[in-house]
Amino acid sequence: MKDIRSQFEKNGFVVLEDFFQPEEIDELKFCGEEFTKNLPPESERKIFNSIESQQNKDKYFLDSANKISVFFESEALDDNGKLKVHPRVCLNKVGHALHALHPTFRKYTFDERVKEAAFQLNYEEPAVCQSMYIYKNPGIGSEVMMHQDASYLYTDPVKLVGFWIALEDSVQENGCLWIAPGSHQSGVHRRYVRNKDPDSKDLLIYDKPAPCYQLSNFRPVPVSKGTCILIHGQVVHFSYPNKSDKSRHAYTFHVIETQHISYSKENWLQPPPGGFLKLYRN
């Protein structure tokens, strides 16, 4: 894990193979699959879609910051919230406080290997601000649009890193990440913020239109189960929909620096009353 910092600063991401062992990954995946066995009632089911952004209007999404909330694939539900697919493949993601509220996810988020990676990236007093289990189900796993994580979790100055852990082999066929190396060096292109307009239906809005990115700048980053990809908050990345017959489960969480840095009060996700959990102290 030594010398990850220079690679991270140059490319905006680093691939760490065999970050977790197969049996550890299986434990995380088992917990992710458990969520599909205890689904909320039909009237309370919410979808998540990064393209159509239904969640902008949704208090359920806003309230998910410091809870464990489940979000369905848009193709998984009919208009009444009834499942159109097997429960095992109906969820888009579970978020955003798994790291705080679920013992297994908490154990791995605050693992010594995670702390060491943050230390190597020169984080003085890092804190974990959100976490998600992502399913990317076969056939209906939706596209994730080109974006920078700092658009959603903005700090001034920006010091944000995503830990993206493959719980299954992630390849082009089942919707692996695509990253534009070096794109973290061009600032934050737009922000996703709480809407100050009290009359608007949109609780959350983008402050600028979507930028246009050249597809030729991106390259696929296929990885095997157990790999962790460290993602700079400003590097642009996306994933295609999963049209294959294999799922692409991942666990991801985001770490911010808290020393000499301010976390924006405009961000959709705000800290719980006691503040974000400090990585080195938990």
Say whether pLDDT at 48 is over 90: no
Domain annotation covers residue 50: yes
Q: Which domain holds residue 37?
A: 6-268
Does residue 277 lie within any of the structural domains?
no
| Structure token digits, residue 44 | 């309370």
**Rounded CA separation 45/43 (Å):** 6
Domain presence at residue 280: no
Q: Computed from CA positions of residues 269, 108, 159, 188, in that sequence, does the dihedral angle turn out positive or negative?
A: negative
| Segment 115-129, tens digit of pLDDT | 999 999 999 999 999
Q: Is residue 201 part of a domain?
A: yes
The pLDDT of residue 1 is: 72
- CATH number of the CATH domain containing 259: 2.60.120.620
Q: Residue 100 domain-assigned?
A: yes
Q: Domain count of the chain?
A: 1
In a domain, 273, yes or no: no
Q: What's the whole-number average pLDDT of the chain?
A: 95
Query: Taking the CA of residue 22 as centre, how many other CA atoms within 13 Å lie in the half-sphere pointing to its CB?
Result: 2
What does the pLDDT look like over 226-239, one tens digit per residue?
999 999 999 999 99
Residue range 49-74: mean pLDDT, rounded: 81
